[in-house]
Structure 1
């Protein structure tokens, strides 16, 4: 039933454009596997083999940590209405942080979202399509606004303080790069002890 492609076809791109939800999976060689649902208007297909998505502040920052050490990533999309379909994109990813020179080039592809912390570029090397006949029907009723409201209420400095306390290391204790690569490191933090 499954089919494999070396790049995204027009039909794949149309399917992705119609989705309100996608899932991101990353893993280290050892330790925890990360699987996260993503919503909002946070994904763009840039061509037949490149996808970019905007990551907003969350309770953890596993994806960024994993990508620092093992750049493999899988994105998965499911049809929750209409014809059944599961679409997976496999490839190599990298994180672009606010302090990186490319930040504006990719961040500007999106409407600004409060608490935006990274943009992930995925260079796709395999597209897999499978039937999805076991995926149930669900109805989309709208976006949740709580995360945007939380980030707006915190303000830029509050969000950055949250990054420092909650997003600096992964569940496995590995750095995520958000402190150093987002321009949050102060002179006191970088000087020898």
Structure 2
């Protein structure tokens, strides 16, 4: 019932482009992180060839997909299509993604080359390099009748853009991104322009989670974890004791021989932004 391919079959191109909705799934590398699934719709996606899929990433309150694609050693992405009319079908595209942020050279080059019409709320272009395609029956997927796309998001950012162009700098998209899209819910760095604007304009980012699983600190390329703090405290105590007991020269000799080891108390590995 299921079939796998290394490339997207040409026979499915027209069907893919006719779909009104699809889902994007990503996850952080850490086992304690949260898997994210985002619905996407509209005419904001396309196929470059049989191994390359793209979609326009519109601004939202979350930035999980971008954070996971940026995470060093990660970049995994799965795109899911369902047939809601006609013959049943489920299609999955497995691959790794790139992020072209609005305002960057790669973004401008892509939209010009592929004649993409951007919107006031356009945040990025996500390019997925597909290495495996899976189809399955979809016999249990229900029928749905498509009505229309919602315009609420586009209208919201059109109004926001108009206010900014009228002179209200607080309505700029980078400021919105800094507040909403600087971090993932697990504390991974997300949109680069958001991170930059957050620092430059001293904007406090929104909290993404509540309760005991909410991150107590956010990660960056130079983050120090709990294990580092414990090791520093232990090393300081040991060196202080040796200095008091045997003198500074002996303490320096011991310090050279001390080697740091990963704390067994910290189950989540450190991550760095690419």
**TM-score scaled by length of structure 1:** 0.90
- CA drift of 1:135 comes to 0.6
Cα offset, 1:127, TM superposition:
0.5
Secondary structure of residue in 2 paired with 1:89: strand
RMSD: 1.8
CA contact (8 A) 1:88 1:128 kept: yes
CA contact (8 A) 2:181 2:191 kept: no
Q: Which has the higher helix share?
A: 2
Q: Secondary structure at the match of 1:32?
A: coil
**Structure 2 stretches of 5 or more lacking a match?**
203-274
- Seen in structure 2, the aligned counterparts of structure 1 residues 114 and 180 have a Cα distance that, compared at 3 Å, is closer
Per-residue CA deviations over 1:55-104 (Å, capped at 9, x if unaligned) read: 00011010000001110100000000000000000001111112431111
Shift of 1:141: 0.8
* Alpha-carbon distance in structure 2 between the residues aligned to 1:58 and 1:185: 17
Contact 1:163–1:178 (Cα < 8 Å) also in 2: no
Q: Of the two, which has the highest radius of gyration? A: 2
Aligned positions of 1:169-188 closer than 5 A: 169-179=183-193, 184=197
1:161 Cα shift? 1.9
- Alignment CA distance shift 1:163-1:187 (3 Å): closer
Q: 1:68 aligns with which of 70, 76, 88?
A: 70
Task: Write 1 or 2 for the structure with the bigger share of strand.
Answer: 1
Among 128, 132, 138, the alignment partner of 1:122 is 128
1:41 aligns with 2:51: no
Partner of 1:17: 17
Corresponding pairs, count:
188
